[in-house]
Amino acid sequence: LAPLLTIGGATGALLGYAAILLIPHAGVGITLAVLVGMSAMFASASRALLTSIIFALETTGQSNALLPLLAACIASYVVSYLLMKNTIMTEKIARRGVVTPHAYAPDILGQIKVRQVLQADKKISANHFPLINKNQPRVTAGDTLRTAVEIMALADTDTLPVTNESGKKVEGVLSYRNILSAYRLHFDEHEENRTISLKRRTLKMVVRGKKRLSNLKNDNY
């Protein structure tokens, strides 16, 4: 993060110096411009809008910088959201082929690869599509099920041939039933893990409550 903050601070200083030359009576300070530039750069790269603003205010104690920070961080956040697919936190993960969700709810179809469905279901074969033409809708084994669903919807079809990454060899056929089965399986696993997590939290709360009750009883005696 140090190079990121350095670049942001330097950019803010340059813009602040330019503002002083163009509008000398605006009351722009170089130190304030540096602070705003650093926060705006961090907000755009990490998409942590509130964190950037609060961090800048708490570390410097400059309450007069609140409005410039809000304006700059919101503007940089919007630009980052429109132009960047990933943040600095998820860019390296995305380059490895791992789909990083952008919402709190799990995107199950976006996390399952077509290759996983082909390996799980041994009944899927390439006999249905021995030959495919260039214009025929298809998916590769490395695509996600969300991509497959979108292609099915656009092509108005229930099945798609699955090719390798080069598109020259048909590895199998994917149907909407395979997608539903994979979704149901992963959804059940997610709900099971969530239930186990909730049970563990409940047990921890019960144990803590019993300890507190026993401590209160001992104090009363």
Domain ranges (residues) in the chain: 2-83, 103-221
Q: What is the pLDDT of residues 55-84, one digit of tens each?
A: 888 888 878 888 888 899 999 989 988 888
Q: What is the pLDDT of residues 9-33, one digit of tens each?
A: 898 889 888 888 888 787 778 888 8
pLDDT tier for residue 196 given thresholds of 50, 70 and 90: very low
Class of CATH domain 103-221: alpha beta
Task: Name the percent of the chain lying above pLDDT 90.
Answer: 2
CB 4 within 8 A of CB 39: no
Distance in angstroms (rounded) separating the CA atoms of residues 29 and 85: 34
In the chain, DSSP assigns E strands to: 139-140, 159-163, 170-175
